[in-house]
A and B are shown apart, each in its own frame.
Chain A
Amino acid sequence: MSATRSRAGSAPAMKLPGGIRAWGRRHAFSLLSSLGTLMRQPIASAMTVMVLAVALCLPAGLWVTLDNAAHLGQDWERLDTLSVFLEGGIDDQQAMRLSSRLSAWEEITAVDPISPAEGLAELAGQMGLGEAATAIEDNPLPWVLEVTPNAADILPALAERLQREEGVESVIVDLQWLERLAAMIEVVRQLTMLLALLFAAAVAFVVGNTIRMDIHNRREEIEVMALVGATRGFIRRPFLYSGLWYGLAAGVLAWALVRLALLVLSGPVEALGGTYDATLGLRPLSVPLSLGLVLGSGALGVIGSWLAVNRHLRRIRL
């Protein structure tokens, strides 16, 4: 213990912190020390991240499902046609005349006339009646015109106009299931929003609680830091960074879990599409949604730890 060459006292006192570089160095220290804290207890940190990721998976997964369902609706909307049933007394000639007249309407793309005989054959085929149908002597089916409109949103108006045509018995708009799908998607979308809000709050609170315990465990360290002149900001910063890491890690993990689920589901969904003669493919998370998930989760982590830090650091008299 030789103090003969001591510089203490002879040199000017340490300058107060100032300048961007010192600020940057203090931030770098906070960042590294927060990472170090997480790494020193890898299992506890991993479990926290896992809980957060699972909480994020539910709204994210629902959102992806919705996205796919809405896309499905868009694809099928184009297939929509109107079935115009003509009156029973209409003969072949009248039916063909009406058909060609309708095809001249500008809101109609195509008219496909189906004769009673064709209709019966199709029906027999669909129901597996086979020869039984031919046994029906008097075909009860009317002429049907399958009308394809040039836009989906004019369907109701077009149906009304067709209904007023002479010789038209009824117009069947196969729109209802689409409307129901859209309505259901809307309900689930709102539900997803509510769930997303709830789970976002859950993420913030879980992070807040983790940070609260962290503050409690490191109380002594906090006191010592304050004793040697650390500012409140300096003491607070590692905890905020910890919150950020928890949030970001949970966001990335949640993204990976949703991606994995999509991969697992893609096979069965394709098989399901095959039975409908349709090519169904699952759309993955969009880039904005992925970014939103990860960054949003990070932001929630910071918010949660901010709340905890503000509440609990105040209790420790510094």
Chain B
Amino acid sequence: MVVFESVGKRYPGGIQALKDLSFRLERGELAFLTGHSGAGKSTLLRLIALLERPTRGQVVFDGRNVGKTARRQIPALRRRIGIIFQDYRLLSDRRVFDNVALPLVIAGAPYPEIRRRVRAVLDKVGLLDKERMYPPMLSGGEQQRVGIARAIIGKPPLILADEPTGNLDPELSADLMQFFLQLNELGTTVLIASHDLELIRRLRRRVLVLRDGQLVDDVPARVEVAG
């Protein structure tokens, strides 16, 4: 699904965010991306969604070298990726409903379908009663769930989450992770950047560890021992 081959990313000004990074994320896999802040987690996610382009190596998403994607093709590529941001990136002057509907509106879906699917996805994240509210009226956790609803409404094959539990209390964080696991069970590939090490360890999934822009560890998923 996602392949990094000797990827390097140097920002203007000489900051080397990623160095010679290689890994594969298979279709249907769920992996965590961890490391201290500044290790390059966000940059890695941004490279996949083409918010940045690699300065070396290549990033392949769905069999396509994204670094060589023409500008015109970028929107189509982004529609196949659901991105969840730590700061939610919601439109504060639009209702929850309109925020979640945005990807479908962009795709030109008919309104009855938009309404049906937005309701369904809001129901799934437990915010159906908040659809007429504006994001600033919601708590951090609720806003995060609006962002998640927006990311999954287009049924993208890949979900990228950048510190999705960063602003949540432990209980909500655990709930949210369960939600991602369920999404993954239904076939969505998920990559989550997080430094909530304890939570990650408990989930026993694959963990990619970054340090100073390099992949220093790749812990495979452990088979859960019954009992």
Interface residues in B161-189 (C-beta closer than 8 Å to A): 175-176, 178-179, 182-184, 186-188
Contact B124 A1 (CB under 8 A): yes
User: A199: CB under 8 A from chain B?
Assistant: no
Interface residues in A1-43 (C-beta closer than 8 Å to B): 1-17, 19, 21-26, 29, 40
B59 to chain A, nearest CB (A): 17
Does more than half of chain A's interface fall in helix, strand or loop, or is it mixed? loop
Instruction: Say yes or no: A10-B79 contact (C-beta < 8 A), given A21-B108, A227-B89, A229-B106.
Output: no
B88 — nearest CB in chain A belongs to which residue? A224
Contact B108 A10 (CB under 8 A): no
**Chain B residues within 8 Å of chain A by Cβ, number:** 47
Contact A8 B108 (CB under 8 A): no
A-contact bits for B116-139, CB 8 A (1 contact / 0 none): 000010001110000000000000
Contact B176 A14 (CB under 8 A): no
Contacts of B152 in A (CB 8 A): 6, 8
Contact B75 A230 (CB under 8 A): yes
User: A231: CB under 8 A from chain B?
Assistant: yes
User: B140: CB under 8 A from chain A?
Assistant: no
Contact B155 A1 (CB under 8 A): no
Contact B91 A221 (CB under 8 A): yes
Apart from A5-B124, A14-B79, A227-B49: 17 A-B pairs, beta carbons within 8 A: A3-B179, A3-B186, A8-B183, A9-B186, A10-B186, A11-B155, A13-B80, A14-B103, A14-B154, A16-B107, A21-B108, A25-B109, A26-B106, A220-B89, A228-B83, A229-B78, A231-B75
User: A234: CB under 8 A from chain B?
Assistant: yes
Contact B78 A228 (CB under 8 A): yes
User: A225: CB under 8 A from chain B?
Assistant: yes
From A1, A11, A227, contact of B78 by CB (8 A): A227
CA distance A136 to B90 in the complex (A): 100
Identify the interface centre among B105, B125, B178: most chain A CB within 10 Å of its CB. B105
Contact B155 A8 (CB under 8 A): yes
Instruction: Say yes or no: A228-B150 contact (C-beta < 8 A), given A3-B124, A13-B80, A26-B108.
Output: yes
From B83, B106, B126, B179, contact of A230 by CB (8 A): B106
B190 — nearest CB in chain A belongs to which residue? A9
Contacts of A225 in B (CB 8 A): 102, 106
Can you name 28 A-B residue pairings with CB atoms under 8 Å? A2-B124, A2-B126, A4-B182, A8-B155, A8-B156, A8-B188, A9-B155, A9-B184, A9-B188, A13-B156, A14-B104, A17-B107, A19-B108, A22-B107, A22-B109, A24-B108, A25-B108, A25-B109, A29-B105, A221-B91, A221-B93, A228-B78, A228-B83, A229-B79, A229-B154, A231-B106, A232-B71, A234-B106
B28 to chain A, nearest CB (A): 8
Interface residues of B (CB under 8 A from A): 49, 51, 71-72, 74-80, 83, 89-91, 93, 102-111, 120, 124-126, 145, 150, 152, 154-157, 175-176, 178-179, 182-184, 186-188
**Chain A residues within 8 Å of chain B by Cβ, number:** 40
Instruction: Say yes or no: A228-B108 contact (C-beta < 8 A), given A1-B125, A9-B155, A13-B154.
Output: no
Contact A229 B108 (CB under 8 A): no
Instruction: Say yes or no: A16-B79 contact (C-beta < 8 A), given A25-B110, A225-B102.
Output: yes
Contact B108 A17 (CB under 8 A): yes
* Closest 8 A/B residue pairs (Cβ): A22-B108, A3-B182, A229-B79, A9-B188, A9-B187, A229-B78, A9-B186, A14-B154
